[in-house]
Structure 1
Amino acid sequence: MKRNVEFEFSAGLRWTHWLRAIAIFVLTVTGFYLAYVFIAPESSDEPILFLNAKFRMWHEIAGFLLIAITLYKTYLFCLDGISSKERVSFVDFISPKIWFQQLKYYLFMGEHPHLKGVYNPLQFIAYVGLYAMIFIISLTGLILYVNCYQGGGIGLFLYDYMRPIEAMMGGLAMVREIHHIVMWGILIFLPIHIYMAIFNSIMGKEGSLDAIFSGYKFLKHDPKH
């Protein structure tokens, strides 16, 4: 079968994908520590350990990195020319025919549908859900941040904007609870995402998993398309 390659993911999209994965990993480890201290430093008479402060520092660095990446990836999705195939995926998402064919494919009852965009309908709705969760966890994270650092800098700048949102959410304790619940939503998404990426790469034989590294995927030659 003749194959050719197609450029699918820009360098910006690929780099931010892996930086986001690193940020989520750091946020998960440090977040679990801040919620439940699972390690303690060796005893010392000197006030130099500050392990909780170090975990909090890395949590905040990774959090702001995640926010920056999300803003950049939103820009790519909305305005970047190379990423236009991501936007075209919405056409596949609203097509009942593509939905039906995609479900048949996942049930081993048919071939993969020909897509106009990068993502099939289930991928598209999953990514929309992921971005919604990232938005909520970033917003609640900023609310928690400004309550610790309202004395100056970005914490002081955001303080007056975050406080009304905190009140609408039911107070700081509820904000923290929402933050934790959404974290579990993201952690549930991740293994499903990895499994489906491997599934599509193996079943589709188009190197779709390789595309997030190289930017290119193989295309099966089909005279009808």
Structure 2
Amino acid sequence: MRQGAMKPYYLFSPWTRIFHWVMVICVFILFLTGLYIGNPFFLGTQGMEPTFAVNNVLSMETIRYIHFIAGYVLVISFIPRIYGFIINPGDRLLPKPWSKLYWTGMIDTQMHYMLLRGKHRPYLRNSLARSGYLAVYLMFFIEAVTGFAMYYMIEPNRFLAKIFGPFNNWLINEYMVHMIHHFVAWFIILFVIVHVYMAIRADLTEKGGEISAMFSGVKYMEEEPDDLGDITDTKKTQAK
């Protein structure tokens, strides 16, 4: 960390940080259990599923139960995320495509990542990152809708079945819903890989605390961020 000129900015509330780490755990569980549910033999050859299912510890029923619980936890975890969005300006850094700063920031950041510029302008959250986070939230929404649509097919009389069940017809049929659910899951994992790489890269090159910010809520910058105006309460934002 380059001390001296580096200024701290309080960005993420505890609510968003809690959401982030719950999301990390849930996505990891959902992806692995989802692979198993889609193909119990993806770990090896035919006949492995009964081998793993010792005393039903890793039976299909148990894996499905874990998958559903993780799905419910992920959906519920959006409650603190929304609360953080309401109370803390730093949690509201969503893309603003109607603004000039969004498009100039997008070009500036992409030029840097393509190694055509040595560095980009200082941003608390650059336009590319903002767009990526919004995209992953939309993918979570698609996964929740398609997941619940398939789940509630087996209990059509329940209240939530009346909400999500029709999606199996609106999206052609249950098989198409399953395929959408499957491919969007892979897009989420692709996002995770890119996100982890970019966070580590930013920490190593910019020394701004990109990773530690998800523990402390604070980022560090040498120059005043171009998007500081997006956080209205600047006195609260600049950490003591």
**1:8 to 2:11 alignment:** yes
Question: SS state of the match for residue 155, structure 2?
Answer: coil
Alignment correspondent of 2:113: 106
- Secondary structure of 1:76's counterpart equals helix
Aligned residue type for 2:172: G
1:182-219, Cα deviation, whole Å (9 max, x unpaired): 11111111100101111111111111221112211222
Alpha-carbon deviation of 1:71?
4.6
Inter-partner Cα distance in structure 2 for 1:85 and 1:137: 23
Cα distance in structure 1, aligned partners of 2:51 and 2:180? 33
The structure 2 residue matched to 1:65, chosen from 53, 73, 90, is 73
Shift of 1:10: 1.0
Q: Which amino acid aligns with 2:169?
A: A
Q: Distance in 1 between matches of 2:178 and 2:99?
A: 34
Does residue 199 in structure 1 map to residue 201 in structure 2? yes
Q: Distance in 2 between matches of 1:165 and 1:84?
A: 31
Give the secondary structure class of the aligned counterpart of 1:90: coil
Aligned twin of 2:93: 86
Structure 2's unaligned 5+ residue stretches are 42-47, 229-240
Q: Counterpart of 1:175 in structure 2: which amino acid? A: V
Contact 1:41 1:49 in 2 (8 A): no
Aligned-residue Cα RMSD (Å) equals 2.7
3-state SS of paired residue (2:15): helix
Q: Which runs of 5+ in 1 are unaligned?
A: none
TM-aligned CA distance change 1:192 to 1:61, over 3 Å: same
Partners in 2 of 1:82 and 1:125 — Cα distance? 17
The TM-score with structure 2 as length reference comes to 0.79
Q: Which residue of 2 aligns with 1:136?
A: 142
Structure 2 residue 194 is the aligned partner of structure 1 residue 187: no
TM-score (norm 1): 0.84
Cα displacement (A) at 1:159: 1.2
- State the shift of 1:114 in Å: 2.9
Partner of 1:20: 23
Distance 1:102 1:197 in 2: 14
CA distance in 2, matches of 1:43, 1:188: 28
TM-aligned CA distance change 1:219 to 1:141, over 3 Å: same
176-185 or 157-166: which moved more?
Answer: 157-166
Residue 235 (structure 2) aligns with: none
1:49 to 52, 56, 62: 56
Percent identity between matched residues is 27
